[in-house]
Amino acid sequence: MTDIAVGAYKSGHAIVLKTRPIIRYDASVTANVTSIGYDAKGFNITACIAYRGKNVPPNVGKLILL
């Protein structure tokens, strides 16, 4: 996680904005082959993306596909 420090020039004051993850994504990619020959016409790949988090908006799944 990255925290952000913000200060005002010549004010002598600064604040630290603490960050935390909101949504956690888990992704995996699998293929149905172990090797691809020179004469291969194609193969299948399956990609899975799952997400979870507290108070996650219902439209987050649509944003993943963009």
- Lowest mean per-residue pLDDT among 7-11, 46-50, 62-66: 62-66
Domain annotation covers residue 60:
no
CA–CA separation, 2 vs 65, rounded Å? 26
Per-residue confidence (pLDDT) for residue 62, from 0 to 100: 62
26: containing domain? 22-55
Domain annotation covers residue 64:
no
Model confidence pLDDT, tens digit, residues 26-63: 889 998 888 888 888 888 889 888 888 877 777 766 65
Name the pTM for this structure. 0.44
Domain annotation covers residue 35:
yes
Structurally, the chain folds into a number of domains equal to 1
Domain annotation covers residue 10:
no
DSSP helix/strand/coil, 63 = helix
Domain annotation covers residue 11:
no
pLDDT at 66 over 50: no
Domain annotation covers residue 47:
yes
Domain annotation covers residue 66:
no
